[in-house]
Copies of this chain bind each other. A is one copy, B any other.
Amino acid sequence: MIDIQGALAAWIKVLSKKNVIIKRNILSEFETATFFTKQKILAVIYPTKTKNIQKCLKIANKFYVPVYPISIGKNWGYGSHVPVKNNCVVMDLSKMNKIIDFDEKLAYITVEPGVTFEQVYKFLHSKKSKLIMSVTGSSPYSSLIGNILERGVGKGRYGNRYQYACGMEIVLPNGECIHTGFARFNGAKTGQISRSGVGPSFDDMFIQSNLGVVTKMTIWLLPKPNYFQVFFYNIKEGSQLGDLIDALRVLKLEGTLEGNFLIVNDYRLLSFNEKYSSKNKGEQPLTLLELEKLKKSLKWGGAWNGEGALLSASKEQGISTRKRVQKLLKNNVSRLIFFDEMKAKATKILDLPLRLFTGIDLKKTVNDAFYKSTFLGIPTMNGINSIYWRKKSFSTKALNPDMDNCGILWIDAIAPFEGNSVSIVIQIMKKQFLRYGFEPNIGINCVTERSVYITGEILYDRNIKDNDKKAIKCYKKTFKELVKKGFIPNRLTVNSMDLLPSSNDDYDTFLHKLKKTIDPNNILSPGRYGIY
């Protein structure tokens, strides 16, 4: 039934030869993720415009060849560019990398799937724009659209990024093309400024989904603050976490703290800054003794370490908000430090004497934390270090965790924004990670007023025997325990799509029926998010 030769010939006609790749060595790169996968791919195709995607999908239907679109393919820790199922053709959209529209006054930018965070940052800079985007904690060279379609979160007020985007252009599996919101009407003035249109909305149907290929999206931007502060806090003991979370919820619900900020445990903090130094060839997790030793070298090593930012329209607003944060956090944290520009400047002056006496590079710290804060929409490579945690050596120049045999597996779950629930999720992850020989490297994204998005990162060296197997076992066991306690993972890897429990209602039937209607030949990313 599947006729790959027929499809390839037809695709070459549409895309030209250079955009249809079947060279084995290139394909094998696309088959490599940051954990064990056995999916093979048949080809990689590179459309350069929407019209061609429409044609390509019609061809896929004609020859029954499943196609797996990726934006850029940096979905590290979830599957990179590897499809969910065997024998797909990868449709790589990285050559569609145009910034299509931009509006300083209404604060939005319209982009194609190949546009990266770095690209938008540079674009805004070149326009002398006073706007900033919510950036990912991952690579600056990853796709804005790709990240949103995986429901990834960013920093700050627009951190729950999929909610701050609209006006999608989507190619359906049969090759038809639709637009969400008002963008479907001729001459509409409102396609880029409103998520809702008239009648039902469908944007969210194409997120974590295989019902269409998103080829365009408008992403909302935030004005730069007139007065900016970042702050850092930590707690010494894990047992203080519940109270901290409850205090943060109050600050979020009342509106004092807005958008997403991150709290990381000691292991995660270490992975940003240090390298795993165990002498046990990476087969055992860091001992508590080693953990404490490494933490001391950081000078800022709480059991949990949080950040935050206040983007204020006036200095007076900023100061009054800071006081409120201080009031509610002071009894719940061990340390709490705020930086505004004045303090950052003063710290810079202090730098040289301090460096001479203590060896701490204060200038760099303040630069990274304040002037180049991710809360100001500046992409960073700082988080990327962590994925080489257990590797002996690496170069950030041609960063390629897939080909460098980095082992990374993310397991994420949403919990209600309250101490008890968060503690349960943390305990499950901690117990299982340690049991299988991995550091319990955990972060808490405080994304919405009522929910946190907890991420566990299984980090290892794929070159070390059995690590791949252990990682998968650890992942599956953690997944199962989370589900058992009612904390359903909210983002899946290409190998865990079928781990989701069945719905207790008619949802699964409904979803299958939708897929069948929209994609009768099941040619678009079969199996993604469990949808067939």
Instruction: State which of A287-295, A354-362, A480-488 sits at the interface with chain B.
Output: A480-488
Number of this chain's copies in the complex: 2
CB neighbours (8 Å) of A105 from chain B are 249, 418
The residues in A between 487 and 532 inclusive whose CB is less than 8 angstroms from any CB of B are 487-492, 500-501, 503-507, 509-511, 513-514, 517-518, 529-531
Which residues in B have their C-beta under 8 angstroms from that of A501?
185-186
Name which of A193-201, A339-347, A366-374, A395-403 contacts chain B. A193-201
Of chain B, the residue at the smallest CB distance from A514 is: B517
The residues of B that contact A320 with a CB separation of less than 8 Å are 314, 316-317, 319-320
A449 within 8 A of partner (CB): yes
Task: Check A193/B416 contact, CB under 8 A, given A176-B506, A198-B529.
Answer: yes
- Give the chain B neighbours of A196 by CB distance below 8 A: 151, 162, 204, 207, 490
Bound form: Cα–Cα A176–B417 in Å: 32
CB contact list, A309-368 vs B, under 8 A: 311, 313-314, 316-317, 319-321, 323-324, 327
Closest B residue, CB atoms, query A492: B198
User: A223 — which chain B residues lie within 8 A by C-beta?
Assistant: 250, 253-254
Contacts of A198 in B (CB 8 A): 208, 488-492, 500, 529
Q: Do B319 and A314 touch across chains, with their CB atoms under 8 A apart? A: no
Residues of B within 8 A of A514 (CB): 514, 517
Min CB distance, A325 to chain B, in Å? 10
Q: Which residues in A have some Cβ–Cβ distance to B below 8 Å?
A: 105-108, 151, 157, 162-163, 172, 176-179, 182, 184-190, 193-209, 211, 220, 222-223, 225-226, 249-251, 253-256, 258, 311, 313-314, 316-317, 319-321, 323-324, 327, 414-418, 421, 448-451, 483, 485-492, 500-501, 503-507, 509-511, 513-514, 517-518, 529-531
